[in-house]
Structure 1
Amino acid sequence: MKNDAIQKVLIRDLNLRDVFFDSLRDDYPGFDKWLAKKATSGDEAYVLIVDGRLLGFLYLKEEVETDNSINPHFDERRRLKIGTFKIDSHGTVLGQRFLSIILRKMLNEGHDFTYVTLFPKQTALIALFECFGFRQWGSKNNGELVYFKDLYVFNDIYKDFPRLSLLEDSSKYLLSIFPEYHTKMFPESQLRTEKNHVIEDLSVTNSSEKIYISAARQVLDMKPGDHIVIYRTAEDGVPAEFSSVASTICTVGEVLKIDDFNNYDDFETYCGKGTIFTKDELLKFWNQQYPKFVIKMIYNVSLNKRIIRRDLRDVVGINADRWTCVQLSQDQFCHILEMGGVNESFIIN
């Protein structure tokens, strides 16, 4: 996770007496002993540290043993435990970024079950986990609730996240996004040529839900559940043949026109934390009523291998005068998934 605001670090390298952990000490007798044990054993955690302050801590652990402290108990099986998930809220929806790390790790490493324990008072965290498909399993003796996620198919783009469904009869599109927006929106789609790009702790980076505003009229044909291949265009002055690439797969949540909003405040609120555009840019779009088409989409998965424009044309067979927004056939879309090396665990079919 080089050049990423979120780093995977050895727990022993953290300040174990940090006040960040105080609420965990209050809730869990023996927390300091547990943390010291993890530090001694060389365990790692995902952390966000800003200006020397610890603001986020995520600890994951693989388990296989029976667990009778949970009711109903867990039988012996392989599962991914979300051991510690704590964020000091600072307005960047870091919880969604942590959740995407968990769920992509679950699928990439072949897990079919992950779980977390939360106290009933943690209502915001419970709502976040439920939004993305976690269901209550039971409880623990200390009063914690146990929430789990497996490979159950909800036919809901949020609850099934990050998986994408090919079960429904959906349309497929290639949508171009400018380089200056691309990697902030899709941090795991960073190109090799962007090795110096720093993935920041930004709302648009952390959010699993992305808002993009396009001038392409074909966007109006998109329906909820349709799939989008994100196409990063070339920088100015660089030939597109080898530098424009397909990088990312998303699922459409909703498409609106800018004049569907009653006023600017409604428009800005809707775009919310998932938009790459600044408030000045949004105000300009509103005043000009252009570009017109607002796309809300879920960021499912980055292609493991980016596909250059030449191969999209010559191998996938995309022939278009303009590549702003191009409808794809089912075969072309599946070919892109295959060429991009998408792990089959991310696909519901």
Structure 2
Amino acid sequence: MELEYKPFRNINLADPFFDSLKEGYAEFPDWFARKADDLAYVFEQSDGSIDGFLYLKVEDEALLDITPQQGRARRLKVGTMKVNPHGTKMGERFIKKIIDHAVREQTEQIYVTVFEQHEALITLFRRYGFEQIGTKTSHNGTELVLAKNIHANYLDMYRGYPLVKLGQNKAYILSLYPQWHTRLLPDSILRNETNDIVEDISSANSIHKVYLTKMHGVDALRQGDILAIYRTSDGQGPAHYRSVVTSIGVVEEYRHLDSFSSAEEFFRYCRPYSVFTRQELEDLWRRRNYPFVFKFMYNLSFKRKVTRAVMIEELGLPGAEQYWGFFEISHGQLRAIANKGEADESLIID
């Protein structure tokens, strides 16, 4: 199953997936027809059935149909979002996509209307910093209006997402082999979407990641530490030019393999966000040769990958004398790497 960005006219409105939206919003079929040339994100199974739908719209107007009314501003509206939950973290992928859009379109505020009975969806939005700013009443009923300001006061790593807070947190280079990087942070660009926000999309794309390693020093990781994700060479040329930093993440938790009381606890912790299959996890549990386990959030993806050559020759990072698996860098070096990667610098805060 893949996430596609496609015109409404190429999306099957007759799919049973849309039945609840038709029931909740009498005007939905007419609205859908008027959007024939607009684009939406769709998760489709191999048989063509739909499991997720997301429509986003940039607005520059006052919100006069909600209580209390909101003044004119440039906002990103979550026009329609629905997922069929089945344990794949699709909702998180959509949250990430929503925020990616807002950052790219330079819309400070995101808002969405949702009926109060959709408790799971409301909980998901609230986890990532959406708060109620009002209500909207129509012939369909009364909906909550939830909004998130990208640069709101930082409360924690979840509600502040995608902000990266430096503070007293340490920053590190973390290397991943290409095969793990592709599965964890895939650089898959959709053919029918041309802007930079489609980077790193696949059926594995979610906000939270779990990784296992045996690299020396990783046991120093603590919550809030910052990771510059470094994809090692693909062997198609000199590592000096083929190894690149692609993204920035924030550590949620570090654990040692011995901290899990059972294999089943280990599987439950790792499986939803891990690059590893169940069989691979069973092998890792049995062999115990990758004892360092950490969970991190996937915050920023670079528009331009930053090569090892640039980091050494232009940014002053250590050269051949340094093992480039895992090592600490300064906050200044992290900012310089992000700048070279053309990340939005306002998302990295002191």
TM-score by length of 2: 0.90
Q: Give the Å deviation of 1:85.
A: 0.2
2:159 corresponds to: 159
* Counterpart residue identity of residue 37, structure 1: R
Contact kept, 8 Å, 1:108 with 1:345, in 2: the verdict is no
Q: Do the aligned partners of residues 306 and 265 (structure 1) sit closer, same or farther apart at CA in structure 2, a change above 3 Å counting?
A: same
1:116-144 superposed Cα distances (whole Å, 9 cap, x missing partner): 11112211111111111111112222221
Correspondence 1:245-256 to 2 at 5 A: 245-256=244-255
1:12-44 superposed Cα distances (whole Å, 9 cap, x missing partner): 2222333221100111121111111222xx221
Contact kept, 8 Å, 1:217 with 1:293, in 2: the verdict is no
Q: Do the aligned partners of residues 72 and 200 (structure 1) sit closer, same or farther apart at CA in structure 2, a change above 3 Å counting?
A: closer
Correspondence 1:1-349 to 2 at 5 A: 5-39=2-36, 42-51=37-46, 52-141=48-137, 142-150=141-149, 151-166=151-166, 168-188=167-187, 202=203, 205-235=204-234, 238-319=237-318, 320-349=321-350
1:303-340 superposed Cα distances (whole Å, 9 cap, x missing partner): 11111122222222222431110111122111111111
* Counterpart residue identity of residue 175, structure 2: S
Q: Do the aligned partners of residues 334 and 67 (structure 1) sit closer, same or farther apart at CA in structure 2, a change above 3 Å counting?
A: closer
Residues of 2 paired with 1:189 and 1:48: CA distance?
A: 15
Residues of 2 paired with 1:132 and 1:220: CA distance?
A: 27
**% identical aligned pairs:** 36
Unaligned runs of 5+ in 1: 191-197
Contact kept, 8 Å, 1:189 with 1:247, in 2: the verdict is no
* Counterpart residue identity of residue 47, structure 1: V
Contact kept, 8 Å, 2:53 with 2:81, in 1: the verdict is yes
> Which SS does the other structure have where 2:61 is aligned?
coil
Q: Give the Å deviation of 1:207.
A: 1.9
> Which SS does the other structure have where 2:62 is aligned?
coil
Residues of 1 paired with 2:85 and 2:92: CA distance?
A: 12
Residues of 2 paired with 1:86 and 1:155: CA distance?
A: 27
> Which SS does the other structure have where 2:343 is aligned?
coil
Moved more, 45-54 or 76-85: 45-54
Q: Do the aligned partners of residues 274 and 88 (structure 1) sit closer, same or farther apart at CA in structure 2, a change above 3 Å counting?
A: same
Q: Give the Å deviation of 1:69.
A: 2.3
Residues of 2 paired with 1:15 and 1:74: CA distance?
A: 35
Residues of 2 paired with 1:35 and 1:290: CA distance?
A: 53
> Which SS does the other structure have where 1:275 is aligned?
coil
Cα-Cα RMSD: 2.0
Q: Do the aligned partners of residues 326 and 153 (structure 1) sit closer, same or farther apart at CA in structure 2, a change above 3 Å counting?
A: same
Residues of 1 paired with 2:226 and 2:301: CA distance?
A: 13
Contact kept, 8 Å, 1:94 with 1:201, in 2: the verdict is no
Residues of 2 paired with 1:335 and 1:77: CA distance?
A: 32
Q: Do the aligned partners of residues 131 and 297 (structure 1) sit closer, same or farther apart at CA in structure 2, a change above 3 Å counting?
A: same
Residues of 1 paired with 2:108 and 2:236: CA distance?
A: 46
Contact kept, 8 Å, 1:176 with 1:231, in 2: the verdict is yes
> Which SS does the other structure have where 1:301 is aligned?
strand
* Counterpart residue identity of residue 160, structure 1: G
Q: Give the Å deviation of 1:7.
A: 1.8
* Counterpart residue identity of residue 43, structure 1: D
Unaligned runs of 5+ in 2: 190-198
Residues of 1 paired with 2:244 and 2:11: CA distance?
A: 39
Contact kept, 8 Å, 2:209 with 2:298, in 1: the verdict is yes
Contact kept, 8 Å, 2:248 with 2:300, in 1: the verdict is yes
Contact kept, 8 Å, 1:254 with 1:297, in 2: the verdict is yes
Q: Give the Å deviation of 1:238.
A: 4.9
TM-score by length of 1: 0.90
1:282-322 superposed Cα distances (whole Å, 9 cap, x missing partner): 12222222211111100011111111122222222222431
Moved more, 120-129 or 67-76: 67-76
